[in-house]
Structure 1
């Protein structure tokens, strides 16, 4: 197990290293000059060269990459070209909103999808199962940006449950902060709930037809005990894998939803930095997203090894 964990940790850091190279190269080769965006197209070549030198953009790309990577390792992400502030402080200011939104969405997914998926499996082919399946398909079919607009219109403008665009900072009013995040979290959660419900329903149904379940029933074991002690234990590993993918996607930044609900999170920061060619900020945010995805997958692999001894450690 220790050997397996060591290999996985090495793979994690190697992946991040490759992502950093690809990100730095890609954003430094795409068209667009941040100096021109700052000074405007009417600026003189002398002023442009002076600012380019101040920003360090006149040095060779490999040199700039090594300096940026060394700073990244030491926790110094450089200064934002657009905001003229340290990248670290910009991210730290936006991170609580994105993390809170992600945690709330994940909480809603888990507490809704797991019981509903099990319930649908137990009531398979009955009317309630067909209704819940139809609702799940509807959630999957509706784009999340449209669902976000619909939530703003219904719950914000019509029912007045929250004021669209009037974001409440967690330092000012934590209850109001959670209340505002609840609706974008629901928008993020609903399609993922639909996916997880269908996946869990199928996994539980497959286990319910297994021989060991019939044996348990023949011994007089109650239905609830069969589900909780036997079926779920065997149905959860693939579900955990899917849930890990969902968590990684949510944590990496729900960019569209943050934009729709005017949330000052990582997603909106990434969009503004891309449009302004803010290389230090873009590169750091992409590496952050890559780290979240790789780290969550690493945790899922470790968790699967722990809960399912049938998975062979290599």
Structure 2
């Protein structure tokens, strides 16, 4: 039976040059999308748990959503299942998991004690996350990319931003008294993280092809095991230390970028691709 709606095509409309359209979609194309859907479910469940005052589970679900979001792209590449549909789905999931969910969890936990100021801080973070993701998508679609883009992000990435903005919640789990001053400080901290998301600070991505000396491999593997073991036993203490270490590493990463690629100014990496990406975003807003 004919319908007014076109059939699902993961890579967009089909044309004759690409051959006849297949009647079935390969299962491998669905696996990454299912992982993305699970990530969205985890993020939304985290919001629900926060409103039910089950904050530890809420934070856990947000972190699980971040993990699943990082996995789906890699699974798609390993299974050769990348598609335009999956890319759009992943982008929409990011704004929920790294923008809306963390902002609402922090707001319900502590920012609501700052009343309107806390809500404004949550709004600023969620909007900054959306702008950060939009800029990333614009830069990723460019054919000619700067050499440093394979090693550095422009601004703190959205998944890291979600981990960072939850710091007041981690501290609250450790028994820190949630006073009005703490709420106002948390609001200020949330705005700072929002600024880091949309800033032009070069942030090391960890995707470079640098190699590790053989004698460092086993100690690094052992260090990862120790970190995971501590994370399982002292979750919130380790998360606080992780956030502090990440924030302290940002100036160091910017310094490395300066040494390798050029002069770094308060306006960020002096690269026309970044300026063009910002111009593209401005034209589409």
TM-score by length of 2: 0.29
Q: Counting helix residues as a fraction of each chain, which structure ranks higher?
A: 1
Higher-RCO chain (CA-CA 8 Å, sequence separation at least 6): 1
| Bigger radius of gyration | 1
TM-score by length of 1: 0.27
